[in-house]
A and B are shown apart, each in its own frame.
Chain A
């Protein structure tokens, strides 16, 4: 399997280098995080907002840039196209599950762009002495674990939407809804601590927080101890849920797949 992934990476890497313009568009999508950071910075210039100082906002959104980058998923678009146009057929007759190709594509893209993103984020921390991170072995370990979990929740939920294309041609609409929910509920627009306590309790149990905010909170040292443990358990429970769900859906989907274009 490792050899197969290496071959996939090689090819995906080469493809991603073909599309430099797309990389530029991707940089623009990060602008949203940066704009939100600037909004919160101006609001917190007079004093902390809901316990967040200016430094906290910089740290939150800069870590957020990395987490969003590492967890970004677009498999649903590719899968939707493949299913609608019938190009999934050649993939289905090869002796490897097509999802491995999508995973490889996802990772190689991240690798290409992490090199641009990391120095920028590092620079932001250097320029903002008040932005602190919680750098203890426990929090770093927990952060990395939560990052893997965040990637899996994001990737699998997006993959799930992609699999829906077996039955519906409305995948784009599902994606819109998903993006809307993520924007508000995963902590892109505002840290979840700013939400009313009742909403926060609900968000503790939904998958969205575990796609972004949870990892940010760990990095900033805001979620620790029992609450950290609880978060990891819920996050990985969602991972398991989406894993099993997508497996089942894939099985049913390929069954009903009518390989369009007879």
Chain B
């Protein structure tokens, strides 16, 4: 069976012109422009099956958005090719455009001066959504996102979070099979981020839609995606199961301890790797499989005031990936 999204040896280079600062720089650039190729995406390949939720991770300028734009048909690949639902995106066939959606946290499709419901109606017409289906979908989206109170207010008067809800609703009215979400939670507060995340998960479960999400908020990805693709400077660093990655890069849990009386490093060494110890507090890295056992032993043998388990920070794990210390695929 072929995958729903197939990306094979995809590259996208931009030509940017370089300008030195200042007036002379402007003049020089006017007379003779210097161009430089920026390799936004450089030979990446991956396949995604229907219904998967995949997180695209990488710092700014990694090539995440560029990849999504190629898949949406906004950009022509420089080399290699991509297909989505069997279509070549850049041909922008109507049949394809009707089956996916692109949400960009920083670009909006809502009509700025009108209430969001007006954009919904415009989209109903554009996507040729039958009235009954339109009402049913809007109703469901209203249940999930609580739109009733916001969709009749002028878009420019909405808060960022309210606007994002409406953006998502506008993008999903035609019940797309594939969702490309580019930083959908950017600028939102933590509560609203969680709301949007939950909603995306729910939409995926309900309609079996494929979700490809970029974000530089780690929480978005950890909460939503089983699979992650890590890219940086156009290169693919890791593609695979998220949990597996964590277990491989960080096969330990973090044990934070507080003692009643001072304790030495040496005494702790038998329980795990001592990451820090200043007498009364200590941080241990304990192998995952032995975590519970070690903690129990510790509690029975020493006078412990407080103990907490933590997962290693995802940011650290990703840093390991970028440093090239992790195999590309699992």
Contacts and interface: CB of A to CB of B under 8 A. Distances in A.
> Do the two chains belong together in a single complex?
yes
A160 B178 CA distance: 34
Contacts of B39: none
Interface string A188-223: 000000000000000000000000000000000000
B113 interface: yes
Interface of A: 3-4, 6-8, 10-11, 14-15, 18-19, 86-87, 89-96, 255, 257-259, 261-262
Contacts of B106: 261
Contacts of B119: 11
Which secondary structure characterizes the binding site on chain B?
A: mixed
20 contacts: A4-B125, A4-B126, A7-B125, A8-B125, A11-B121, A15-B111, A15-B113, A86-B107, A89-B102, A91-B109, A92-B73, A93-B72, A93-B74, A94-B97, A95-B94, A96-B126, A258-B14, A258-B75, A259-B74, A262-B69
Interface string B57-93: 0000100011001001111100000000000000010
B40 to A, nearest CB: 6
B162 interface: no
B108 interface: yes
A255 B76 CA distance: 7
B66, B92, B124 — which one has the most chain A CB atoms within 10 A of its CB? B92
Q: Considering the complex of A and B, which 7 residue pairs feature the smallest CB-CB distances, nearest first?
A: A7-B125, A90-B109, A95-B97, A95-B94, A18-B113, A259-B74, A4-B125
A92 B72 CA distance: 9
A255 B128 CA distance: 27
A15 B115 CA distance: 10
B102 A90 contact: yes
B121 A93 contact: no
B114 A89 contact: no
Given A4-B126, A93-B102, A95-B98, A261 B114 contact: no
B118 interface: yes
Given A14-B118, A258-B14, A259-B74, A90 B107 contact: yes
Given A11-B118, A89-B72, 9 more contacts: A7-B126, A89-B74, A90-B104, A93-B72, A94-B97, A94-B109, A94-B127, A262-B66, A262-B69
Contacts of B104: 89-90
B98 A11 contact: no
A89 to B, nearest CB: 6
A259 B75 CA distance: 7
Contacts of B121: 7, 10-11
B328 interface: no
Contacts of A14: 113-114, 118
Interface of B: 14, 40, 61, 65-66, 69, 72-76, 92, 94, 97-98, 100-102, 104, 106-109, 111, 113-114, 118-119, 121-128
Contacts of B107: 86-87, 89-90, 261
Nearest to B61: A262
Contacts of B111: 11, 15
Nearest to A15: B113
B118 A10 contact: yes
A95 to B, nearest CB: 4
B114 A15 contact: yes
Contacts of B109: 90-91, 94
Contacts of A92: 73-74, 92
Contacts of B14: 258, 262
Contact of B122 (A7, A95, A258): A7
Given A7-B125, A94-B97, A262 B118 contact: no
Nearest to B97: A95
Contacts of A4: 125-126
A37 B202 CA distance: 66
Contacts of A18: 113-114
Nearest to B171: A90
Task: Among A18, A90, A93, A95, find the residue whose CB has the most chain B CB atoms closer than 10 A.
Answer: A93
Contacts of B74: 89, 92-93, 257, 259
Q: Which of A8, A10, A15, A89 is packed against the most chain B CB atoms within 10 Å?
A: A89
A7 B118 CA distance: 9
A262 B40 contact: yes
A90 B171 CA distance: 10
A74 to B, nearest CB: 16
A19 B66 CA distance: 36
A89 B103 CA distance: 10
Candidate in A8, A87, A94, A261 with the most chain B CB atoms within 10 angstroms? A94
A254 B177 CA distance: 25
Contacts of A255: 76
A95 B118 CA distance: 18
A194 B80 CA distance: 61
Nearest to A259: B74
Given A95-B94, A262-B40, A89 B69 contact: yes
Contacts of B100: 93
Contact of A94 (B66, B124, B126): B126
